[in-house]
């Protein structure tokens, strides 16, 4: 404990390092995964290829990737950029499948009625499919955020500073408190990100909060989702019968 009180500055600095590594990776992986996931959802031919590739990508252990990647992209092994790219790759690998599943989870009736009332592919994606798959995407993004924060610590063994540096340093110098502080700080950071995402989800998807709170809004997403509820209700009632 005394070590922790004496080194709060150090923990804070490593936390900031950690944020700088993980936030860009989380944001980038979401942005990159959207079009790829859409492709995987939209065409059967691309689906198999894309999902296989991201599956294999995700299977690659982190440390070897951290080592191989700089040789391919030409950064230095110890460069934070190298780590951000690697973390983004993992995030994309996770998120693409989620995007594809999320889009597929949108009720077929809703999609058909959307095209029937005249949405173009583009507007339908942004105003119907994306918002309605929002809850699934959010769940996926939460997993990405938590695992990115956890994974970023591994960079410490190749010399990229993060909260993981507290593990390597603590291990080498035999300071247990330092390692524990690093674990706790990592978990707390992951929980903070998670909470932020949940909060953002509530702001962006007010209709998921509760049925009773749903008010008819002018924006298309809101009205489509209220229209969607009876349909899905019917379906579940059919199953229940």
Q: Give me the residues that bind other proteins (CB under 8 A), please.
A: 41-42, 44, 47, 55-56, 58-65, 67-68, 71, 77, 104, 108, 111-112, 115-116, 118-121, 124, 143, 146-147, 149-151, 153-154, 156-158, 163-164, 166-168, 170-171, 174, 176, 179-180, 182-183, 186-187, 190-191, 241
Q: Which of 157, 164, 140 is nearest to 58 (CA)?
A: 140
Determine contact, residues 33/92, Cβ cutoff 8 Å. yes
Q: Residue 119 or 207: which CB sits closer to other proteins?
A: 119
CA distance 145 to 87: 10
Burial of residue 72 (number of CB atoms within 10 Å: 0-12, 13-18, 19+): exposed
Q: How far is the CB of 147 from other proteins (least distance, A)?
A: 6
Q: How far is the CB of 159 from other proteins (least distance, A)?
A: 8
Q: Residue 72 or 213: which CB sits closer to other proteins?
A: 72
Q: Is 162 helix (H, G, I), strand (E, B) or coil?
A: coil
Q: What are phi and psi of 103, to 5 degrees?
A: -65, -40
Q: Residue 46 or 214: which CB sits closer to other proteins?
A: 46
Q: How far is the CB of 136 from other proteins (least distance, A)?
A: 15
């Amino acid at each position: 404990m005394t070590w922790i009180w004496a080194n709060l500055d150090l923990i804070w600095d490593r936390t900031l390092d950690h944020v700088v590594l993980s936030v860009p990776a989380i944001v980038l992986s979401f942005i990159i995964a959207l079009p790829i996931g859409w492709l995987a959802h939209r065409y059967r031919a691309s689906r198999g290829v894309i999902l296989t590739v991201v599956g294999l990508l995700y299977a690659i252990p982190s440390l070897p990737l951290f080592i191989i990647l700089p040789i391919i992209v030409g950064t230095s092994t110890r460069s934070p950029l190298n780590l951000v790219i690697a973390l983004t790759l993992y995030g994309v690998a996770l998120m693409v499948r989620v995007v594809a599943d999320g889009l597929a989870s949108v009720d077929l009736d809703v999609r058909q009625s959307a095209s029937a009332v005249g949405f173009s592919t583009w507007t339908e994606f942004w105003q119907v499919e994306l918002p309605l798959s929002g809850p699934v995407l959010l769940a996926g993004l939460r997993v990405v955020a938590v695992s990115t924060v956890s994974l970023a610590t591994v960079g410490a063994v190749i010399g990229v500073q993060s909260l993981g540096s507290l593990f390597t340093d603590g291990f080498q110098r035999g300071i247990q408190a330092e390692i524990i502080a690093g674990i706790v700080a990592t978990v707390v950071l992951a929980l903070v990100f998670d909470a932020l995402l949940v909060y953002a989800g509530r702001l962006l998807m007010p209709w998921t909060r509760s049925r009773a709170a749903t008010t008819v809004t002018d924006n298309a997403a809101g009205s489509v989702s209220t229209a969607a509820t009876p349909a899905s209700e019917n379906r579940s009632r059919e199953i229940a019968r």
